Chain A
């Protein structure tokens, strides 16, 4: 019994792994008839896993010779990821019914992808990092191509797969260089070796390749090319899922690798992050302006938001990491809320996804238009909504770390980004109405209302959230 108790920290992952296999068996034997119960079972699995994660307490515990670590930071990120995945599944019901895509494998693959994300968040050495990442990516490739009869979905899956395999190759090459030049795969041992001062050029090369691989996963410029096509081609609930959990897990992994394995060569990776951050913010803002498809627009929006979040990591301080964590929380809520609206863009003859279809939404469905307006204002970062505070924290951290140019470019590009968010709002409220949408489904309404309340009421609930984010960030700076 004592030996089993030693493995309590990995119970959430174990629940997801065993649950996913149970789902797979149920799906195989019950066929396509039971997709809705299977989906709810997956949501239940996420709830149980989140409960187990919250139940864990105390400082860093590591398992399996230090490959797997659990601390306040992993707990916070895991809960966030689990919420993202659960909401993404709940939001998918209506769409999957609409396009006749009720497959038993969908919840199975989502649960496996989430398992991979949890493993990424807890990874404390290079092999665990790669296995978690590959587990997640492999599931995502399949989910992106799930709609086999749609050309665009297959194209999205193939594109994602080819570019993802390339990025995995770069990541692995980086890992092997790092291992070769430090003699260890474990983050603390790498940090100790690097701190002794033998920083070979090869090690820096390895670090750059590793960061390139991870930047691909968070779709930061210049590794963003896949994002718009995959977001557009994949089925919409899958796009919502892509925009939520995987980004958070990859960001958590990037934070942990850089702060745990390479703290003593901070200046080396700071310049890379500053470049990636500036490039993502500006490209995310400017390239989104010309978009007509709302899913492509959200892709560029997420590229930009990842750039903003990276500012906090470029600061390299505890406050900066707190800023990223809060940014990710707020980004998750805003993204899921916006996708609840996109999933409601449904006419009697099917789903629509161009921005012009939103024209005059306020005349037909004022509550939806109002909620979407709040979310878009928040995405643009207008006070007193949540999105403003997200940007405020990372910019503050950047200024305190002396990164004035980065903060200034950030503010300027967020002003550019505000243009296209405001343009959609103008379209919804002042333009001639397009055809009316079908009534919103109950579960989407619930997600939208929850997101709207969070965005408006952030000022009221910010204290406990910020305290939790601070204690999570503290776990990385002991």
Chain B
């Protein structure tokens, strides 16, 4: 138990430090690398909570896909991050005030948190205990049976997001050379090679 506690503080402290470095490091590539570190540490926190599946998904999806995409974008686009962050110090007191207010609110809310019995009765869930069933199985059971309607609806929403992005941005530019595989395969020596007889010493 104490070991788990120690790991919790290790992960949490690294997470906060990495999060701070994401917004404060000068080099955008470093910022993305710190972001990846933050993702790994939150995955560690999930493992401590017994949510292995979420932890692995976080690593695969966020680190494997999203953060790597960020990294590519940051490396390819020439964004002047120093200029973007020019007002950072100026707005720091303002942001800090908001952060402190939020913190006080959280403490007030959590400090006086009382769950009435009716509410806890509403929120009880019929899912089998974690000891009897693996994480992945429990999520799958819920997602594909009880919540299948929501799952399908979310799928359609993502499809629309894709259709929308393509509709609004795809342009067929003139003069862009595209690969036409059928054309390449159908080439024969007769259509692509021209044989010239060159006289010695005369050139073409």
Within 8 A of B (CB), among A133-180: 134-135, 138-139, 141-142, 145-146, 148, 157
Is B118 touching A68 in the complex (CB atoms < 8 A)? no
Which of A108-116, A260-268, A380-388, A453-461 contacts its partner?
A: A108-116
The 0/1 profile, CB within 8 Å of A marked 1, for residues 146-159 of chain B is 11111011101101
Partner among A105, A132, A196 whose Cβ is within 8 Å of the Cβ of B167: A105
- Smallest CB gap from A132: residue in B: B153
The 0/1 profile, CB within 8 Å of B marked 1, for residues 10-26 of chain A is 00000001000100100
Any A CB within 8 A of the CB of B176? no
Q: Please give the distance in Å from B133's CB to the nearest CB on chain A.
A: 19
The 0/1 profile, CB within 8 Å of B marked 1, for residues 174-193 of chain A is 00000001111000010001
Any A CB within 8 A of the CB of B198? no
- Smallest CB gap from A141: residue in B: B164
Number of A-B contacts (CB under 8 A): 79
Is B157 touching A109 in the complex (CB atoms < 8 A)? no
Is B146 touching A65 in the complex (CB atoms < 8 A)? yes
Given the interface pairs A138-B161, A139-B160, A142-B167, the reply to whether A68 lies near B123 with Cβ below 8 Å is no
Any A CB within 8 A of the CB of B179? no
The interface residues of chain B, by DSSP majority, are classed as: helix
Any B CB within 8 A of the CB of A86? no
Is B153 touching A131 in the complex (CB atoms < 8 A)? yes
Partner among B118, B150, B160 whose Cβ is within 8 Å of the Cβ of A198: B118
Any A CB within 8 A of the CB of B195? no
Is B118 touching A112 in the complex (CB atoms < 8 A)? no
Given the interface pairs A105-B167, A183-B122, A184-B122, the reply to whether A131 lies near B148 with Cβ below 8 Å is no
B residues contacting A by CB (< 8 A) are: 115-116, 118-123, 146-150, 152-154, 156-157, 159-161, 163-164, 167-168
Q: What are 17 contact pairs spanning A and B, CB under 8 A?
A: A64-B148, A64-B149, A105-B163, A105-B167, A112-B159, A112-B160, A131-B157, A134-B157, A138-B164, A139-B164, A142-B164, A148-B168, A182-B119, A183-B121, A189-B122, A196-B118, A198-B118
Given contacts A109-B164, A131-B154, A142-B167, 12 further A-B pairs with CB under 8 A are A67-B149, A109-B160, A109-B163, A115-B156, A128-B153, A139-B164, A141-B164, A142-B163, A182-B119, A183-B118, A183-B120, A184-B123
